[in-house]
Amino acid sequence: MNPDPHDLSALENALGHRFGRRALLEQALTHASYARELESQNAAGGAPAPAADNEQMEFLGDAVLGFVVSRELFQRFPEYQEGELSKLRAHLVSARHLLRPARELEIGQYLRLGRGEERSGGRSKVALLVDSLEAVIAALFLDAGLEVAQRFIQRSILEPGLAEVHQDGSSKLPVIDYKSALQEAVHASGRSQPRYVLIKEEGPDHRKMFTMEAQVPAAPNGDKGFARRAEGNTKKLAEQRAAREAWDFLQSLKRDSGTGDSDTPSKFSQPS
């Protein structure tokens, strides 16, 4: 059953926020085609007052979304380089990814569209849905502040997106948690769980560097065990980097299966 486009209560419930200024939400759902038609009607009636649309709110919502996602990724994944963070953020704020929460909110049913846009199927157009979602984010921000907008972004955009990246084995985006990914990979190959060993700790207390080694035991099918080392300014970071090296190597074993194991390092050997 489609929602009543004139009753925004269901949308507010889905957003998790009751608007103090309902006009902000209404503007976020107003396409420029509807606003221009309304202005024409007003002009014909002798009151050429401008009508607000959601284009400027889309601009603000895009900025709020980008900031929240950037800050969350910065805090959650200190081991990622700038390029990896940018790549992951680009995925999370892409139109392809934002289309899902826009459809889940049924934003298309609430849009105020001009007659021409309505006839051309505007309620299902990807661009209109995504732009309106960003405008709704701006409405949340303007009505209740960053914390409320951030809660919505985390719940509806960020967490599902990170879960999608982690589960998509074919994704070329960074794996979110390499220790978990490595654990899953070694389990799938029948190996025992990997171990993490501190190899070296050096530097003054305020600038410590740790070298951790991820040790992966041999597999029941005869594939030899191996190890990979990495450095970091915390043990946790070094473990994640070592796990990534080991995970990457396991993926190469999968790709090269059937070519023999002559390139497989001996047990717990460190590649040069």
Domains of the chain: 9-167 (1.10.1520.10), 178-255 (3.30.160.20)
Distance (Å, whole) CA 31 – CA 112: 6
Is residue 53 part of the annotated active site? The answer reads no
pLDDT tens-digit map of 15-67: 999 999 999 999 999 999 988 888 787 766 566 667 789 999 999 999 999 99
Please report the pLDDT score of residue 268 as a whole number: 37
CB-side exposure of 201: number of CA atoms within 13 Å?
A: 9
CA 171-80-180 angle, to 5 degrees, is: 60
To the nearest 10 degrees (0 to 180), the angle between helices 55-76 and 146-153 is: 70
pLDDT tens-digit map of 172-229: 455 557 888 888 889 888 899 999 999 999 988 878 899 999 999 998 888 889 999 9
Of 62, 72, 223, 245, the active-site residue reads 62
Please report the pLDDT score of residue 263 as a whole number: 36
Is residue 134 part of the annotated active site? The answer reads yes
CA distances in angstroms from 81 to 74, 104, 197, listed in the order given: 10, 33, 24
DSSP assignment of 84-142, as one string? HHHHHHHHHTSHHHHHHHHHHTTHHHH-B--HHHHHTTGGG-HHHHHHHHHHHHHHHHH
pLDDT confidence of 12, banded at 50, 70, 90?
Answer: very high
CA 47-49-52 angle, to 5 degrees, is: 150
Of 72, 117, 131, 134, the active-site residue reads 134
CB-side exposure of 154: number of CA atoms within 13 Å?
A: 12
Q: What is the CA radius of gyration of the chain?
A: 25
